[in-house]
């Protein structure tokens, strides 16, 4: 439809029609018995039959035939037969589930994540979906926060590269393209900074920190063309994001130039009443509208109040026109006025879901996401040895992570299922050993199946057979870790330990066999002090998705050399959280070797995390040469080439992630001790070497200066290039 026709349509719509375009309801309201809904949950919410029929969008329903029928039924009821938008959380896969986003961050391969998003978009669009609420690009530093699993980590530069790649993977260059869906960047903004890592908690950030660290990845996704943005639950400067005019009008739409659709998070507008910053629902509606929030997700705040507020002169109808037009424009960009079904196609849905190509991609992404944290030489496994797999993730299908409800765990490949195809059955045993969590761990309010409770006898029998297997083996592989319900939304943990029941098993296995390799399943950095001290090797596999087990076996046996690097620091213990590599120096830095008292440090633990950002081992070794600069100074229009030579000094082919960090040696506003400004994955055969060159320009040196402007300052800068954020392999240049 032409823009002029859209504007004509808008002009012809009643106020109620326009307001209802700004309403999003759950698919459950449309797929069940309408009367029970209208007398039940809809009625409780103040949603009437007219709202149900005229709602502009639906979340959480999918299925080609289902969505085509739903579109037919409700377009027929629409006075102007406006097609509905169908949205869903396709975060890291639809039916084929790719590794959790935090795992994808560990690949340091944004393009690969773009491919995963593209595959997810094919499956989602064939299922009749138009929009996905992904990627989540919240910067995270606190392992207590359960939603770190949905992010790509602690670094603004890395998160920005993933943000743009995933948006392009979902959207392509034209939303009408078959197999593409609109991408919704979330949660705007700063949600990952929740105080004490407690979900939905207050966010207290200086504007400087907010702009320097938390905003860049949202901007990168918007610059990549994200069609939608979702508000966050938290406050910024004491104002909830969904009613925060400064955040939404000045920053999002003004500075960042976002002109797409802004949707609230689930009930987030109404929740400003609970924040006690809105007097009542009507006040919340007024404030959110004035902040420019276009769609109210799953409440009647807009639908039940905006018409009256216009009629009473409380709000200008043109604000509603603006919102409604943006929603119509998104429908138009998706081609829904010409083809309301877009790509819904039951045959394609069947053909794409879990197809070999998508499974192969899921396995590749999983393999590249694994981080070898420790290896005293016991990996890759010698498959001629007797090996016991002992642990609750030995044959566990629940490896999809949170936000993967569209997928089915039974489609996941477990470690045992994959190992049985590779390991000699006469020399390999498998035992669960214990459940993922003990009977003492309560996961309250979860709609998913709550974990089975075991009797003392059952637990004793599981343990006994596991210890017997461990005793008879040359080496024990222990697939263990968090329960998948212990990470994701509303799963903050004050203790970031591997569940105690598993640590008890770990200790008992060690008592009968010191050769233990831990394969760790988790959605957040955990306190790994004991495992790190006692295991011979640790392979971090996060929640690897549909092909997780086959990827783990390929890496354990050396068919695939691990190349993942940490996108988020693993704290020494929870008392160190939040922790990140790009901290400020402070006036009393506690430098290595210092023995003084009055330094910025703890009495009882080191400042350094147990495993730092950017860290990851390989089955081979790499040498990185000194940094060579092609010149030692440049002006604002110049660029400096910083080069190293990377050599595979081991006897296995492998891939190294070469990372470029820059330190501003002096600035009017304190700057991080170093910042990631580039990375490159380099595949090398044994003995092979390759030059890696990074080009540094003045743009890489910009920051929010004392006067609040974004720019650089003349001075010296230290360039560091290595394979982890701890590198001090450096050279210095001057910006004139």
What are the residue numbers of the active site? 265
Query: In angstroms, what is the minimal distance from the CB of 208 to ligand GLC?
Result: 27
Region of residue 283 (phi > 0: left; psi between -120 and 50: alpha; otherwise: beta):
alpha
Residues pairing with 23 in the sheet: 296
Question: What residue ranges in 23-163 does DSSP mark as E strands?
Answer: 23-26, 57-59, 85-88, 131-132
Asked if 92 touches ligand GLC (CB under 6 A), the answer is no
Q: Closer CB to ligand GLC, residue 266 or residue 454?
A: 266
Strand, coil or helix: 633? strand
Q: Closer CB to ligand GLC, residue 265 or residue 294?
A: 265
Query: In angstroms, what is the minimal distance from the CB of 135 to ligand GLC?
Result: 11
Among 265, 329, 463, 547, binds ligand GLC (CB under 6 A): 265
Footprint (CB under 6 A) of ligand GLC, residues 136-195 = 186
Q: Closer CB to ligand GLC, residue 445 or residue 593?
A: 445
Residue window 670-689: x/- pattern of binding to ligand GLC, with contact defined by CB under 6 A: --------------------
Respond yes or no on whether the N-terminal peptide bond of residue 96 is cis (omega within 30° of 0): no
Footprint (CB under 6 A) of ligand GLC, residues 497-516 = none
Q: Closer CB to ligand GLC, residue 186 or residue 374?
A: 186
Q: Closer CB to ligand GLC, residue 147 or residue 286?
A: 147
Number of residues counted as binding ligand GLC (CB under 6 A): 7
CA distances for 269 relative to 134, 262, 311, 518, angstroms: 20, 12, 21, 44
Q: Closer CB to ligand GLC, residue 188 or residue 703?
A: 188
**CA 176 to chain centroid:** 26
Spatial separation of the C-alpha atoms in residues 340 and 345, rounded to whole Å: 12
Among 30, 74, 86, 133, binds ligand GLC (CB under 6 A): 133
| Dihedrals phi, psi of 319, to nearest 5 degrees | -65, -40
Query: In angstroms, what is the minimal distance from the CB of 57 to ligand GLC?
Result: 12
| Dihedrals phi, psi of 372, to nearest 5 degrees | -80, 105
Reported as half-sphere exposure (CB side, CA atoms, 13 A), residue 7 has a value of 4
Q: Closer CB to ligand GLC, residue 181 or residue 701?
A: 181
Among 246, 266, 454, 704, binds ligand GLC (CB under 6 A): 266
Residue window 427-466: x/- pattern of binding to ligand GLC, with contact defined by CB under 6 A: ----------------------------------------
Spatial separation of the C-alpha atoms in residues 140 and 100, rounded to whole Å: 15
Report the C-alpha dihedral over residues 195, 199, 205, 208, rounded to 10 degrees: 140
Query: In angstroms, what is the minimal distance from the CB of 338 to ligand GLC?
Result: 28
Among 89, 368, 398, 554, binds ligand GLC (CB under 6 A): 89
Helix (H) or strand (E) holding 661: strand 654-664
Q: Closer CB to ligand GLC, residue 62 or residue 498?
A: 62
Q: Do residues 135 and 192 touch, judged by C-beta distance below 8 A?
A: no
Q: Closer CB to ligand GLC, residue 101 or residue 153?
A: 101
Q: Closer CB to ligand GLC, residue 146 or residue 549?
A: 146
Residues pairing with 675 in the sheet: 662
Report the C-alpha dihedral over residues 568, 569, 575, 578, rounded to 10 degrees: -50
Spatial separation of the C-alpha atoms in residues 325 and 553, rounded to whole Å: 52
Question: What residue ranges in 100-238 does DSSP mark as E strands?
Answer: 131-132, 182-188, 228-231, 235-236
Query: In angstroms, what is the minimal distance from the CB of 730 to ligand GLC?
Result: 40
Query: In angstroms, what is the minimal distance from the CB of 244 to ligand GLC?
Result: 17
Query: In angstroms, what is the minimal distance from the CB of 101 to ligand GLC?
Result: 12
Q: Closer CB to ligand GLC, residue 488 or residue 499?
A: 488
Terminal Cα distance for the chain, rounded: 53
Query: In angstroms, what is the minimal distance from the CB of 207 to ligand GLC?
Result: 24
Q: Closer CB to ligand GLC, residue 222 or residue 387?
A: 222
Residues in Cβ contact with 573 at an 8 Å cutoff, skipping those fewer than 6 apart? 527, 529, 605
Among 489, 504, 633, 713, binds ligand GLC (CB under 6 A): 489
**Closest of 184, 180, 202, 185 to residue 193, by C-alpha:** 202
Query: In angstroms, what is the minimal distance from the CB of 585 to ligand GLC?
Result: 35
Spatial separation of the C-alpha atoms in residues 289 and 320, rounded to whole Å: 7
**Closest of 494, 187, 143, 128 to residue 334, by C-alpha:** 128
Query: In angstroms, what is the minimal distance from the CB of 186 to ligand GLC?
Result: 6
Q: Closer CB to ligand GLC, residue 186 or residue 358?
A: 186
Helix (H) or strand (E) holding 171: helix 156-171
Query: In angstroms, what is the minimal distance from the CB of 133 to ligand GLC?
Result: 4
Spatial separation of the C-alpha atoms in residues 414 and 672, rounded to whole Å: 42
Spatial separation of the C-alpha atoms in residues 304 and 282, rounded to whole Å: 8
Question: What residue ranges in 123-204 does DSSP mark as E strands?
Answer: 131-132, 182-188
Q: Do residues 477 and 389 touch, judged by C-beta distance below 8 A?
A: yes
**Closest of 650, 653, 622, 630 to residue 727, by C-alpha:** 622
Spatial separation of the C-alpha atoms in residues 329 and 72, rounded to whole Å: 20
Question: What residue ranges in 178-253 does DSSP mark as E strands?
Answer: 182-188, 228-231, 235-236, 239-240
Residue window 7-46: x/- pattern of binding to ligand GLC, with contact defined by CB under 6 A: ----------------------------------------
Residues pairing with 229 in the sheet: 185, 262
Query: In angstroms, what is the minimal distance from the CB of 449 to ligand GLC?
Result: 20
- Helix 3-12 and helix 317-333: axis angle, to 10°? 140
Footprint (CB under 6 A) of ligand GLC, residues 467-486 = none
Q: DSSP alpha helices (H): ranges in 370-474? A: 415-419, 456-472
**Closest of 731, 718, 713 to residue 667, by C-alpha:** 713
Query: In angstroms, what is the minimal distance from the CB of 686 to ligand GLC?
Result: 45
**Residues lying near ligand GLC in the complex (CB under 6 A):** 59, 89, 133, 186, 265-266, 489
């Amino acid at each position: 439809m032409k823009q002029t026709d859209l504007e004509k349509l808008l002009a012809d719509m009643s106020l109620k029609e326009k307001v209802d375009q700004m309403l999003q309801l759950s698919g459950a309201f449309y797929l069940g018995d309408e009367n029970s809904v209208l007398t039940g949950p809809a009625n409780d919410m103040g949603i009437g039959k007219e709202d149900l029929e005229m709602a502009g969008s639906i979340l959480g329903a999918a299925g080609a035939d289902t969505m085509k029928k739903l579109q037919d039924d409700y377009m027929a009821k629409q006075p102007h037969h406006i097609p509905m938008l169908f949205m869903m959380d396709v975060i890291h896969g639809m039916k084929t589930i790719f590794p959790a986003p935090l795992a994808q961050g560990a690949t340091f391969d944004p393009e690969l994540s773009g491919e995963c998003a593209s595959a997810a978009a094919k499956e989602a669009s064939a299922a009749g979906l138009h929009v996905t609420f992904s990627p989540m690009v919240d910067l995270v530093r606190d392992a207590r926060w359960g939603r770190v699993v949905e992010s790509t980590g602690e670094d603004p530069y890395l998160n920005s590269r993933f943000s743009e790649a995933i948006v392009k993977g979902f959207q392509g260059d034209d939303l009408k393209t078959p197999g593409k869906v609109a991408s919704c960047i979330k949660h705007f903004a700063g949600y990952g900074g929740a105080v004490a890592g407690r979900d939905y908690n207050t966010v207290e950030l200086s504007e400087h920190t907010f702009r320097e660290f938390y905003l860049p990845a949202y901007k990168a996704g918007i610059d990549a063309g994200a069609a939608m943005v979702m508000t966050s639950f938290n406050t910024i400067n004491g104002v909830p994001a969904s009613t925060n005019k400064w955040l939404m009008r000045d920053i999002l739409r003004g500075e960042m130039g976002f002109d797409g659709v802004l949707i609230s998070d689930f009930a987030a507008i109404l929740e400003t009443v609970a924040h006690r910053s809105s007097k009542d629902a009507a006040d919340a509606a007024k404030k959110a509208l004035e902040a420019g929030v276009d769609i109210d997700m799953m409440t009647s705040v807009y639908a039940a109040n905006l018409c009256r507020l216009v009629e009473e002169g409380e709000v200008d109808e043109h604000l509603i026109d603006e919102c409604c037009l943006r929603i119509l424009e998104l429908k138009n960009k998706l081609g829904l006025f010409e083809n309301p079904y877009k790509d819904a196609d039951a045959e394609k849905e069947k053909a794409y879901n879990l197809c070999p190509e998508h499974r192969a991609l899921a396995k590749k992404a999983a393999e590249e996401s694994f981080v070898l944290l420790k290896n005293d030489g016991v990996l890759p496994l010698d498959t001629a040895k007797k090996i016991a797999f002992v642990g609750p993730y030995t044959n566990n299908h629940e490896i999809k992570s949170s936000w993967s409800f569209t997928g089915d765990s039974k489609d996941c490949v477990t470690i045992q299922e994959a190992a049985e195809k590779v390991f000699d059955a006469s020399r390999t045993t498998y035992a669960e050993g214990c459940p993922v969590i003990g009977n003492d761990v309560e996961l309250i309010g979860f709609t998913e199946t709550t974990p089975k409770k075991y009797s003392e006898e059952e637990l004793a029998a599981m343990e006994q057979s596991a210890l017997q297997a461990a005793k008879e083996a040359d080496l024990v592989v222990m697939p263990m870790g968090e329960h998948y319900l212990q990470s994701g939304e509303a799963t903050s943990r004050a203790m970031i330990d591997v569940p105690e029941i598993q640590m008890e098993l770990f200790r008992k296995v060690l008592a009968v066999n010191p050769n233990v390799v831990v394969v760790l399943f988790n959605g957040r950095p955990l306190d790994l002090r004991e495992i790190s001290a006692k295991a011979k090797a640790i392979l971090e596999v996060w929640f690897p998705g549909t092909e997780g087990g086959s990827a783990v076996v390929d890496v354990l046996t050396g068919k695939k050399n691990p190349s993942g690097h940490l996108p988020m620091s693993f704290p020494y213990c929870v008392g160190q959280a939040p922790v990140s590599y790009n901290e400020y120096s402070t006036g009393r830095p506690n430098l290595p070797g210092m023995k003084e008292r009055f330094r910025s440090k703890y009495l009882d633990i080191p400042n350094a995390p147990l495993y730092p950002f950017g860290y990851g081992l390989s089955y081979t070794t790499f040498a990185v040469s000194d940094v060579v600069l092609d010149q030692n100074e440049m002006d604002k229009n110049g660029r400096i080439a910083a080069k190293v030579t990377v050599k595979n000094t081991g006897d296995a082919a492998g891939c190294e992630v070469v990372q470029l960090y820059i330190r501003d040696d002096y600035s009017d506003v304190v700057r991080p001790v170093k910042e990631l400004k580039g990375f490159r994955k380099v595949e090398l055969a044994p003995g092979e070497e390759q030059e890696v060159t990074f080009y540094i320009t003045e743009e890489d040196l910009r920051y929010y200066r004392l006067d609040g402007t974004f720019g650089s300052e003349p001075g010296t800068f230290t360039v560091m290039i290595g394979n982890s954020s701890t590198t001090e392999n450096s050279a210095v240049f001057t910006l004139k």
